[in-house]
Amino acid sequence: MADRADVVVVGGGVIGLTAAVVLGQRGARVTVLAADDPADTVSAVAAAVWYP
């Protein structure tokens, strides 16, 4: 984990990861906190599979 982040995204589902990518593309230093591996979230079975 980075020492400093501009944004902390809580949740590794499709919405959290998408927010993290977009913020990162806009120059923010982003840390994602997730209880589960993204492949193990509900997003993986809701036709919104995300493997960054």
Tokens of 28: 């923010």
Would you state the pLDDT for residue 31?
A: 95
pLDDT, tens digit, for every residue of 19-51? 999 999 999 999 999 988 767 766 666 665 555
**Reported pTM:** 0.70
Which amino acid makes up residue 11?
A: G
Cα R_g (the chain), whole angstroms: 11
Would you state the pLDDT for residue 7?
A: 97
Give the integer Cα–Cα distance in Å for 5 and 46.
30
